[in-house]
């Protein structure tokens, strides 16, 4: 029955062999790195024959690994799967290693020929040689840095692998006890999810109500904004119309003023003449009014005298009867003047003032 390997088993066996003395040599690190890369790139099943072939190929590529060490590596990986004819298997793995070494030597010889050709070309072009040497020196520095990084990585990988193994053992030991804890945690999680779902539903309902309220407020605000914009637009339109009407009015006034400028001097001349005639007429009328007022005042004085005489006669009658009415008192000239208007001196003063004012207006318009 064919035996198949797992990459982890092969690498663990190789790590155990290399770390049994507590230190890993650079050659062993190089061997481990190349062998791990070949395992990762290999696409067939990991049988004993395939593992031996990959080991032989790796051995051919690592120059400083001795045949004794290589045999120990082979046995460390494959011993637990071998039968009694282990000598024949060791001979076969050595043969495979020799064949791979021969192939690698031929490849290396071809590489050396190519390097010689490149060196000859470099000697022809000194400038190119200097550039190539600088490049090779840089590559050597980078390779050394990469080697140091790889060594550190291998040590870290070995440590991580050991820690992973210990963690896996601890995990297997704790799986039984963790199952109950996981069940309890799952029940608690489901209860928490149910509570959170309920809270989310309540929060969603509150959010929807708040969004509806905000949407209503936004709608009212938008309606108010549109109404305000409409009002402002109407006011702007009215202001624009008023501005246009004012401009038209000013243009009309300017036109009328332009048309009237030619007639203005003549009209002023005629107005001055008419105003002089009007003021003269006013002076004449004022004089006639003064004379008429003096005649009226003389007539009122006469009537007051007659009324005073009649009042005295009436008082004498009531005195003779012995019962004078309570509301009949003699009327003096001053009280009669109060009933019929302003006193006579005040009326004469007013007539004089009005005549002076009219004369002043006449003088202003004439000059």
pLDDT score recorded for residue 354: 80
Residue with tokens 């590559």: 139
pLDDT score recorded for residue 361: 67
What are the residue boundaries of the structural domains of the chain, listed by start?
7-124, 268-366
Residue whose C-alpha is closest to residue 279's, from 194, 158, 362, 188: 362
What is the three-state SS of 274-343? Answer: HHHHHHHHHHHHHHHHHHHHHHHHHHHHHHHHHHHHHHHHHHHHHHHHCCCCCCCCCCCHHHHHHHHCCC
pLDDT score recorded for residue 84: 40
More confident residue, 328 or 41: 41
CA dihedral 339, 341, 342, 348 (to 10 degrees): -140
Dump pLDDT digits (tens) for 42-72: 888 888 889 989 999 999 998 888 888 899 8
Beta bridge partners of 4: 47
Lowest average pLDDT, out of 39-43, 323-327, 351-355, goes to 323-327
Dump pLDDT digits (tens) for 13-26: 989 988 988 888 89
């Amino acid at each position: 029955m064919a035996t198949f390997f797992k990459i982890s088993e092969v690498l663990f066996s190789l790590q155990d062999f290399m770390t049994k003395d507590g230190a890993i040599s650079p050659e062993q690190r190089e061997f481990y790195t190349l062998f791990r890369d070949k395992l990762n790139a290999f696409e067939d099943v990991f049988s004993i024959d395939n593992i031996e072939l990959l080991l032989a190929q790796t051995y051919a590529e690592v120059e400083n690994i001795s045949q004794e060490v290589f045999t120990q590596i082979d046995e460390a990986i494959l011993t637990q799967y071998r039968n009694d004819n282990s000598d024949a298997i060791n001979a076969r793995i050595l043969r495979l290693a020799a064949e791979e070494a021969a192939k690698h030597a031929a490849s290396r010889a071809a590489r050396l020929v190519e390097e010689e050709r490149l060196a000859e070309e470099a000697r022809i072009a000194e400038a190119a040689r200097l550039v190539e040497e600088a490049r090779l020196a840089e590559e050597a520095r980078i390779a050394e840095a990469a080697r140091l990084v790889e060594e550190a990585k291998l040590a870290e990988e070995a440590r991580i692998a050991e820690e992973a193994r210990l963690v896996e053992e601890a995990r297997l030991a704790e799986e039984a006890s963790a199952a109950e804890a996981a069940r309890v945690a799952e029940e608690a999680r489901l209860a928490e999810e149910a509570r959170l779902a309920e809270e989310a539903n309540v929060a969603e309902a509150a959010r929807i109500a708040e969004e509806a309220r905000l949407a209503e407020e936004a709608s009212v605000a938008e309606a108010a904004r549109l109404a305000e914009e409409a009002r402002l637009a109407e006011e702007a339109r009215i202001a624009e119309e008023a501005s246009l009407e004012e401009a038209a009015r000013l243009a009309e006034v300017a036109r009328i003023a332009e048309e009237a400028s030619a007639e203005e001097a003549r009209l002023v001349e005629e107005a001055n003449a008419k105003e002089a005639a009007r003021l003269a007429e006013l002076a004449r009328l004022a004089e006639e009014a003064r004379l008429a007022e003096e005649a009226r005042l003389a007539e009122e004085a006469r009537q007051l005298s007659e009324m005073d005489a009649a009042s005295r006669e009436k008082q004498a009658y009531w005195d003779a009867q012995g019962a004078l009415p309570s509301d009949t008192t003699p009327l003096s000239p001053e009280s009669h003047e109060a009933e019929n208007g302003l006193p006579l001196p005040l009326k004469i003063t007013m007539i004089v003032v009005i005549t002076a004012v009219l004369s002043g207006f006449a003088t202003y318009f004439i000059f």
